[in-house]
C-alpha cells in the first residue's frame, strides 16, 4: 500500500547515453520528519538518484512514488504539483540562482510559479529569511554579491518558501568553511523540525552525514550496498566498503582507532561494472563466490540492510 507521507523508490535504474548505468536497481524510502543521508565516492550515482526523486531523471525501469503518486507519465499539471511537494537544492547553488535576479525576486518567483499570493506570504518569507540568518537588507542584493554560505541559504529559502514536504539537498555544505558548514547544518535541522520535512542529504562528507541524518544509505557504482540507522551503521558497518569509507575518517570515531583501510585501485567505470559483486575488484575480503554471484541487498537486524556475501561481524 502506498503511503501518503513518503517518497518511495522502487527498484529504479537510470542509464545515460553511452551505456553508463548511473543508478542500477535502487529501492529506498524517505518519510516526512526524517533525514536520510546518501554517501558514496564521486560518480557513484548520488546526484542521478537525487534528480530522479524530483522527476528530473526518468528511470528506465522501476518507479518513484511521491505521496502515493507514481511519477511515471506525469502530466504538466502533475509536475507543478510534484515541485510543490519535493524541492531540490542543486550541487552548485550559484548556477541555480539566476544572476540577473535580486534575492527578493528569487524568493518571490517560486510563489508566482505556484500561484501563491506573494503579499499574503511575504511575512512567512521574511520569517524564513530571519531563521536562515539573512537580513532584509540582503533582499536587494544579487546572488554574487553575498558570500557562498549566504547564497546557499538563499537557495534553501527559495526551496522552502512554497512549503514543500520534502527537501533534496545535493552537497549542501560543499566548498564552505567548516564553521559555516556547522551553522548551515544546524539550520537544516531546525527547519526540518519546524516544517516536519523529509530531507535527503547527499554528501561526500561523513562528518556532515553523521551529524544530521537519522538513516544513511551508502552507494557504490550505482547500487546501495548498505543502509540503516546512521549511528548503528557508523558504529559497526557490515559492508566492507562502508568500513573502508569510515576508516578513512578519524573524526567519526576517534576512540575506536579503526585501522585505516586503503582501497586499492580506481573506482571501475559504471559503463562496465565488475561481474558478481561490483566491489570485488577493491574489496579486502574478496572470495571466489564474490566474482560470480551478485550479493542482494537484504534485510537484517534493526532495520539494517546490506549487500555482501561475507558481512563483517556486527561488533567489528
Ligand atoms: N547527463 C549525463 N549524461 C551522461 N552521463 C552522466 C550524466 N550525469 C551523470 N552521468 C554519469 O553517471 C555517473 C554518476 O554520476 P552522478 O553525477 O550521479 O555521480 P555523483 O555520485 O553525484 O558524483 P559526485 O560526488 O561527483 O557529485 C557518472 O559516471 C557520470 O559521469
Ligand atoms: S560480496 Fe565479497 S567482494 Fe563484495 S563486499 Fe562482500 S566480501 Fe567483498
Ligand atoms: Mg553529485
Mean pLDDT by 10 residues, the chain (316 residues): 85 94 96 96 95 93 95 87 94 83 94 91 90 90 91 92 95 87 88 92 92 96 98 95 88 66 84 95 96 96 95 75
As a whole number of angstroms, the distance between CA 192 and CA 195 comes to 6
Q: Which residues line ligand 2 (CB under 6 A)?
A: 239-240, 277, 279-280, 283, 285-287, 290, 295, 308-310
- Give the H/E segment covering residue 84: helix 76-85
Residue 53 pLDDT: 95
As a whole number of angstroms, the distance between CA 9 and CA 40 comes to 18
CA diameter of the chain: 66
As a whole number of angstroms, the distance between CA 161 and CA 12 comes to 30
Residue 76 pLDDT: 85
User: From the CA of 170, which ligand is nearest?
Assistant: 3
Ligand 2 pocket: which of 221, 225, 268, 277 to mutate (most atoms <8 Å of CB)?
277
Residue 316 pLDDT: 45
Question: Is the distance from CB of 220 to CB of 279 less than 8 angstroms?
Answer: yes
Residue 1 pLDDT: 54
Residue 313 pLDDT: 86
Atom of ligand 1 nearest to the CA of 91: 27
Residue 255 pLDDT: 58
Question: Is the distance from CB of 26 to CB of 57 less than 8 angstroms?
Answer: no
As a whole number of angstroms, the distance between CA 251 and CA 217 comes to 19
Residue 262 pLDDT: 80
Atom of ligand 2 nearest to the CA of 290: 2
**CA 247: distance to chain centroid?**
22
Rounded-to-5 percentages of helix, strand, coil across the chain: 35, 20, 40
Nearest protein CA to atom 5 of ligand 2, as residue: 308
Q: Which residues line ligand 1 (CB under 6 A)?
A: 16, 20, 22, 40, 42-48, 91, 204, 270
Ligand 1 pocket: which of 22, 54, 56, 90 to mutate (most atoms <8 Å of CB)?
22
Residues in the 5 Å CB sphere of ion ligand 3: 46-47
Closest CA to 38 of 284, 296, 214: 214
Residue 34 pLDDT: 95
As a whole number of angstroms, the distance between CA 202 and CA 99 comes to 25
Question: Is the distance from CB of 242 to CB of 233 less than 8 angstroms?
Answer: yes
Residues 6+ apart with CB under 8 A from 203: 37, 38, 39, 171, 172, 173, 174, 209
Residue 46 Cα to ligand 1 middle (Å): 8
Nearest protein CA to atom 3 of ligand 2, as residue: 280
Question: Is the distance from CB of 239 to CB of 306 less than 8 angstroms?
Answer: yes
Please work out, in degrees rounded to the nearest 5, the angle formed at the alpha carbon of residue 224 by the alpha carbons of 223 and 229.
175
Residue 291 Cα to ligand 2 middle (Å): 9
Atom of ligand 2 nearest to the CA of 287: 2
Residue 176 Cα to ligand 3 middle (Å): 16
Nearest protein CA to atom 18 of ligand 1, as residue: 45
Atom of ligand 1 nearest to the CA of 50: 18
Measured in Å, how far apart are the chain's first and last C-alpha atoms? 37
Question: Is the distance from CB of 165 to CB of 5 less than 8 angstroms?
Answer: yes
Amino acid at each position: 500500500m502506498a503511503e501518503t507521507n513518503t517518497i518511495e523508490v522502487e527498484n529504479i535504474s537510470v542509464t545515460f547515453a553511452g551505456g553508463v548505468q548511473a543508478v542500477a536497481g535502487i529501492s529506498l524510502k524517505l518519510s516526512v520528519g526524517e533525514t536520510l543521508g546518501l554517501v558514496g565516492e564521486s560518480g557513484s550515482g548520488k546526484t542521478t538518484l537525487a534528480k530522479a526523486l524530483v522527476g528530473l531523471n526518468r528511470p528506465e525501469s522501476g518507479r518513484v512514488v511521491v505521496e502515493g503518486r507514481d511519477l511515471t507519465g506525469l502530466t504538466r499539471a502533475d509536475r507543478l504539483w510534484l515541485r510543490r511537494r519535493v524541492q531540490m537544492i542543486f550541487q552548485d547553488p550559484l548556477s541555480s540562482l539566476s544572476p540577473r535576479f535580486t534575492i527578493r525576486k528569487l524568493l518571490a518567483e517560486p510563489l508566482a510559479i505556484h500561484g501563491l499570493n506573494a503579499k499574503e506570504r511575504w511575512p512567512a518569507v521574511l520569517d524564513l529569511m530571519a531563521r536562515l540568518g539573512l537580513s532584509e537588507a540582503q533582499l536587494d542584493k544579487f546572488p554574487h554579491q553575498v558570500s557562498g554560505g549566504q547564497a546557499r541559504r538563499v537557495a534553501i529559502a527559495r526551496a522552502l518558501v512554497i512549503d514543500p514536504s520534502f527537501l533534496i539537498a545535493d552537497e549542501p555544505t560543499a566548498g564552505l568553511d567548516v564553521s559555516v558548514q556547522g551553522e548551515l547544518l544546524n539550520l537544516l535541522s531546525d527547519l526540518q523540525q519546524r516544517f516536519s520535512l523529509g530531507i535527503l542529504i547527499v554528501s561526500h562528507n561523513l562528518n556532515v552525514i553523521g551529524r544530521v541524518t537519522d538513516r544513511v544509505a551508502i552507494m557504490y557504482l550505482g547500487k546501495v550496498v548498505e543502509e540503516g540507522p546512521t549511528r548503528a551503521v557508523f558504529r559497526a558497518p557490515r559492508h566492507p566498503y562502508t568500513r573502508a569509507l569510515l576508516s578513512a575518517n578519524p573524526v567519526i570515531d576517534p576512540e575506536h582507532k579503526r585501522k585505516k583501510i586503503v582501497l586499492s585501485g580506481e573506482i571501475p567505470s559504471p559503463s562496465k561494472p565488475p561481474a558478481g559483486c561490483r566491489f570485488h575488484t577493491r574489496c579486502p575480503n574478496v572470495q571466489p563466490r564474490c566474482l560470480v554471484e551478485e550479493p542482494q541487498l537484504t534485510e537484517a537486524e534493526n532495520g539494517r540492510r546490506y549487500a555482501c556475501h561475507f558481512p563483517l561481524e556486527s561488533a567489528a
